[in-house]
Amino acid sequence: MRTETMPAATRKSTLVVHDCGLAEYRQVLQLQQQLHQQRRLGEIPNTVLLVEHLPVITLGARRSANKLLVDRETLAQRQIDVVETRRGGGATAHEPGQLVFYPIIYLPDFDRGISEFIHELEVIGAELLERLGLAAGRRKGFVGLWVGERKIASIGARVSKLVTYHGMAININNDLSIFDLLVPCGLEGVEMTSVLKETGTTKAMSRAKQILADLLAEHFG
């Protein structure tokens, strides 16, 4: 897996943004765990990974929200990996065309707790979508971003020793049919959507990543 450092103007302190390209989830999870340890020891600055994943369904720490609608053998036949994680939330899916970002940051640098951090991710996601021409917002009682009653972005974060990892997934151009294989985040009847579905136009992922890198610098730089 090759990572590329993206330019992002910083104002407060150092923030490094790495573009991991298109990568397997397990590889990036291992990288997150390595970076988390290094950040906890003060060996690296606050870091964010940007990535598009090969098809995968991830299961969260809230077991009651991990609901698959097909068996794992069927998923394996369709070359969809299934990975159990320790992040918050329930089952979700990742695939090409979905933009995922994983902040590995030391929360005391920004005087924030986990709730404030989650809200910050929602703000960053909403600002990204606005710059891509789509209005999205929060929905009371639910984490993530919504376009009306349709969910467009999911958050599953974890904090250990005051350092964050895991993060947020935003549907840009991805094939939403993968979500038919699970109950997204354990929310029965929820409809997933994307920028492509809502606007009818395909957005360049390179542009979305650069916008996101700039927003991350504004919020966490």
Which of 132, 121, 114, 153 lies closest to 219 in space, CA to CA? 121
In angstroms, the Cα distances linking 28 to 99, 102, 121 are 14, 9, 19
Q: HSE (CB half, 13 Å, CA atoms) of 216?
A: 28
170: which residues sit within 8 A by CB, 6+ positions away?
98, 99, 100, 125, 128, 129, 145, 152, 153
Say whether 185 is catalytic. Answer: yes
Is 203 in contact with 52 (CB distance < 8 Å)?
no
Active-site annotation holder among 91, 185, 192, 217: 185
- Between CA 14 and CA 20, with CA 16 as vertex, the angle to 5 degrees is 175
Is 103 in contact with 53 (CB distance < 8 Å)?
no
Residues with catalytic roles: 185
